[in-house]
Amino acid sequence: MNTIIELLNYPFMQRAIICGITISFCAALIGVILVLKNYSMIGHGLGEVGFAALSLALVFNLPEMYVAIPIVIVASFIILLISQKKGSSGDVTIALVSTAALAFGVIITSLSKGFNIDVYNYMFGSILSMTTGDVIVSIVLSIILVIIYVFFYNRLFMITYDEKYAKVCGISVTFYQFLISLITAIVVVLGMRMMGTLLISSLIVFPAIIARKLTNSFKSMVILSVLISVICFIFGILVSFFLNLPTGACIVAVYIVALIIANVFKRINI
């Protein structure tokens, strides 16, 4: 316990924990909607788009976040627009965009200085590199997400479960879809620092999947997903510190354990 208290005195660890908790919180909120709408792989797809954007930023020595955020947002809108067309599949669209972006990122990186430490950190995560700016953005995003959920809860619920009925009720489904895509893109870019482009989708998918196994209520699923996400992050970062292992991988390992426990609990209560 003394070691943990001493660790919390370091500014870089304080930034890491604040960013980790707020990003986990945001990912869990948006993840519930994405999982229920069968768009759970969009986090993985946008993560690979983020990798391409970061490779481009590093080649031209530009600020990574300022390059990655707009590119990932545009990619999320493109995925949404294509998947809305008749005969188009959301999973196929995500696969096409993500693989194309990953190939582009690898080519750009190979033509420049190769896979240096910066690219490696973004691929596998480096939570201790979180800046004060990351902290501010993640806190602001958390506040915005809470406000959206509080004021538009009923509309988000209807859009998630039945878009046709939502349209009949006069709800602008397209607007909320683009809003969800926008928030997802920002969460993915912020989460790449923590989880890496290869593991960012786990931050969005796992909490919602675990919560769905424990409850059938949308409201309960949202609350439970947030609690699971934050608790698993805390356990993950502690395991990472004490065992000197990558933070992102440890968080995913904790998620897997939580998923196994949820499955056992569900079987017992059947």
CATH code of residue 65:
1.10.3470.10
For residue 106, which of 56, 64, 72, 47 has the smallest C-alpha distance?
A: 56
Residue type, 31: G
Residue 228 has pLDDT above 90, yes or no: yes
Q: Which two tokens stand for residue 87?
A: 């005969």
pLDDT reported for residue 151: 82
Amino acid at 124: F
* Average pLDDT of the chain, as a whole number: 80
Q: How many CB atoms lie within 10 A of CB 161?
A: 12
Residue at 211 is within a domain:
no
* Longest alpha-carbon distance in the chain: 59
Would 263 be classed as within a structural domain? no
**pLDDT for 30 beyond 90:** no
**97 pLDDT band (50/70/90 cuts)?**
confident
CB count, 10 Å around CB of 140?
12
Establish if 237 belongs to a structural domain. Answer: no
The residue with greater pLDDT, 110 or 178, is: 178
Per-residue pLDDT at 258: 93
18 or 121, greater pLDDT: 18
Helix (H, G, I), strand (E, B) or coil at 27: helix
Residue 210 above 90 pLDDT? yes
Give the per-residue pLDDT at 243.
Answer: 85
The tally of domains found in the chain comes to: 1
pLDDT at residue 114 is higher than 60:
no
Q: Is residue 188 part of a domain?
A: yes
pLDDT of residue 39: 76
Q: Is residue 3 part of a domain?
A: no
Q: Which range of residues forms the domain containing residue 151?
A: 15-199
- Does residue 205 have a pLDDT over 70? yes
Helix (H/G/I), strand (E/B), else coil: 40: coil
Cβ neighbors of 116 (< 8 A, separation 6 or more) are 58
Place of tokens 């995500």: 94
Is the pLDDT confidence value at 90 over 70?
no
Assess if residue 58 is contained within a domain. yes
0.85 exceeded by the pTM? no
Q: Indicate whether 228 belongs to any domain.
A: no
Say if 250 falls within a structural domain: no
- Using one digit for the tens of pLDDT, what is the confidence trace for 121-177? 666 666 666 777 777 877 887 888 888 878 887 888 888 877 787 888 888 888 888
Segment 60-83, tens digit of pLDDT: 777 777 788 888 888 888 887 777
